[in-house]
Structures are given as C-alpha cells and as structure tokens.
Amino acid sequence: MTKTGIDIVCSNTIKINDIEEIFFGIEEEEVPYILQFLQLEKINKELYTNGRFEIGIGIDFDGEMILNQKKYSNDFILKENIKSSKEKLRVFGQNAARILKGLPLKK
C-alpha cells in the first residue's frame, strides 16, 4: 500500500527537532504527511509535489521552507524559514493542510 499525504522533503542537513512544529500543525488539521530526507542542498519543486495530492513542502539546507502545488505557476504559495517562531512553523503546517482541504489560510 502506498502512503499518501503532504510530502515533506528536506535536505539531510536539517534536524528533525527544528521542524517538528510543522508536523504538529499538519496533524492538528488531521492530514497525514510523508517525511523524506535527501542528500541535497537545494530541494526542487518536482521532488515534493509529485505525490498523490501534488502538494508538498521543500526544506533546503539553509532552512528555507517552500510550500507549493504541482500546478501552481508562481515560485511558491507560502515561504518561511525554520528559524521562525514555533507558532509560525505550526501555522505553516496548518496552512499546508488547509490548502489540501480547500479551507482558508490562517494568519
């Protein structure tokens, strides 16, 4: 069985405890996620938007986080950095889930 959820693809230089608030935000919206670490500095859009839901989060080596959809033509839907406050990271995760569910974003 193939797992489905919001794809989160990170550079392997990222520490999981630096991004756990994103997971908490997604879980609060009751949406699953799939976490993957790659030995890359720059995470390309194609790596995190090719899942079943075609929505994902890419986290580069420098902590830049991009939320995007496969068919979205702009550079990103939302952008944040892992150095942001825990609250901002949690809202980032919630908003990823809310986009998937077709709900308005939180501020």
Domains of the chain (ranges plus CATH)? Answer: 6-101 (3.40.50.10150)
DSSP string across 16-34: HHHHHHHHHHHHHTT--EE
* Residue 58 to residue 60: CA distance in whole angstroms: 7
pLDDT band at 85 (very low <50, low <70, confident <90, very high): very high
Of residues 32, 38, 58, 63, the one with CA closest to residue 46: 58
pLDDT tens digit sequence for 43-81 = 988 888 888 889 999 999 999 999 999 988 888 899 999
The predicted model scores a pTM of 0.91
| Residue 49 backbone phi and psi in degrees, to 5 | -120, 15
pLDDT tens digit sequence for 12-48 = 999 999 999 999 999 999 999 999 999 998 898 888 8
